């Protein structure tokens, strides 16, 4: 299941979204996460869903890829939704037992929470699927550029974020290999009570941490051997160019915001 987690992976392409400036995609992704909290009824969530599907269509990446990418997180999403349904009061009551109270408002809120999670995952995944890690680093560094006046190590922060993002799929693949190796030795991760299942995770975490520290040490040695001394005086091989398509994308987000305000209760 871990190998299906798409966050942090890049799929090469030449679509409209692929060709956008990484700064525009980064701003759009964060803006989408903020503006989705304006949705408060079925009409607004439908507008957000249609906008997300349009973005996926413009990326030339099949919708099935995003749906498969959500599957590893579905239990976490459902757990949050169930808590919302069981402990939210208001509206018509369908079932009540102690602190548990299933109401129409709770069910509606649970449905909205589910849609919010899925749409945020879709948009975040779209960002990483269509943007190379190096381009994301350049975008973050460019957007945080004004903070250099306050002696903030912008280049180092952008580099750390990029490396962390780059190693997400690597660590997921490593965890999957370790789990398969443990299963071959007779470990059943779904057997026993919750305490036993937590103990079964230990044989995964220990080698995963060791592997992570080894990779970090190797990366540091490689950067030092190549004379890396930070961003001072470094030039860029790929220059970021804001184009008409990026402005159109930002205007589309503004139009989406105006539509949400119009459709809100």
CA distance 16 to 56: 10
Contact present, 144 and 158 (Cβ < 8 Å): yes
Cα distance between residue 164 and residue 58, in whole Å: 27
What is the count of structural domains for the chain? 1
85 within a domain of the structure (yes/no): yes
Residue 86 placed within a domain? yes
The angle formed by the CA atoms of residues 213, 219 and 224, to the nearest 5 degrees, is: 125
Boundaries of domain holding 52? 1-131+235-265
Distances from the Cα of 145 to the Cαs of 154, 157, 166, in angstroms? 7, 11, 22
Q: How far apart, in Å, are the Cα atoms of 168 and each of 91, 103, 173, 175, 184?
A: 42, 39, 9, 11, 25
Q: Is residue 243 part of a domain?
A: yes
Q: Is the pTM of this model over 0.95?
A: no
Residues 6+ apart with CB under 8 A from 145: 154
Neighbours of 67 (CB within 10 A): 11
Q: Which residue has the tokens 């660590």?
A: 171
Dihedral sign of CA atoms 12, 16, 19, 25 in order: negative
Any domain includes 18: yes
If you search the block for the tokens 């220990």, which residue do you land on?
206
On whether residue 77 sits in a domain, the answer given is: yes
* Each residue's pLDDT expressed in tens, for the chain with a length of 265 residues: 444 556 567 788 889 999 999 999 999 999 999 999 988 889 999 999 999 999 999 999 888 888 877 777 788 888 888 888 887 777 777 777 777 777 878 888 888 999 999 999 899 889 888 988 778 888 888 888 888 888 888 888 887 877 877 777 777 778 878 888 877 877 666 666 666 666 767 777 788 888 888 888 888 898 888 877 766 666 666 778 899 999 999 999 999 999 999 988 7
In a domain, 4, yes or no: yes
Q: Pull the structure tokens for residue 215.
A: 């990779």
In a domain, 93, yes or no: yes
Overall residue count recorded for the chain in this entry: 265
Domain assignment present for residue 64? The answer is: yes
Contacts for 78-87: CB closer than 8 Å, 24+ residues apart: 78/114, 80/113, 80/117, 81/110, 81/111, 81/113, 81/114, 82/110, 84/109, 84/110, 84/113, 85/109, 85/110
Distance CA 25, CA 243 (A): 12
According to the model, what pLDDT value does residue 192 have?
A: 62
Neighbouring residues of 82: CB distance < 8 A, sequence distance ≥ 6? 110
């Amino acid at each position: 299941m871990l190998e299906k987690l798409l966050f942090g992976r890049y799929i090469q392409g030449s679509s409209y979204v692929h060709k956008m400036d990484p700064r525009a995609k980064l701003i759009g992704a964060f803006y989408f996460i903020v503006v989705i909290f304006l949705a408060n009824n079925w009409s607004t969530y439908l507008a957000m869903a249609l906008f997300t599907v349009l973005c996926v269509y413009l990326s030339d990446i099949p919708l099935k890829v995003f749906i498969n990418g959500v599957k590893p997180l579905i239990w976490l999403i459902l757990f949050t939704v169930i808590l919302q349904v069981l402990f939210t009061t208001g509206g018509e009551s369908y079932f009540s037992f102690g602190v548990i109270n299933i109401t129409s408002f709770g069910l509606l809120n649970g449905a909205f929470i589910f849609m919010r999670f899925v749409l945020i995952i879709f948009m975040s995944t779209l960002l990483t699927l269509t943007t190379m890690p190096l381009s994301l680093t350049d975008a973050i560094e460019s957007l945080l550029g004004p903070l250099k006046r306050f002696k903030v190590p912008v280049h180092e922060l952008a580099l750390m974020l990029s490396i962390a993002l780059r190693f997400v799929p690597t660590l997921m693949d490593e965890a999957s290999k370790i789990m398969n190796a443990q299963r071959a030795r007779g470990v059943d991760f779904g057997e026993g009570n919750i305490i036993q299942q937590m103990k079964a995770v230990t044989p995964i975490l220990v080698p995963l941490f060791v592997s992570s520290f080894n990779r970090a040490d190797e990366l540091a040695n490689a950067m030092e051997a190549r004379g890396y001394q930070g961003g001072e005086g470094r030039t860029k091989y790929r220059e970021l160019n804001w184009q008409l398509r990026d402005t159109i994308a930002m205007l589309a987000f503004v139009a989406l915001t105006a539509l949400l305000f119009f459709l809100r209760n």
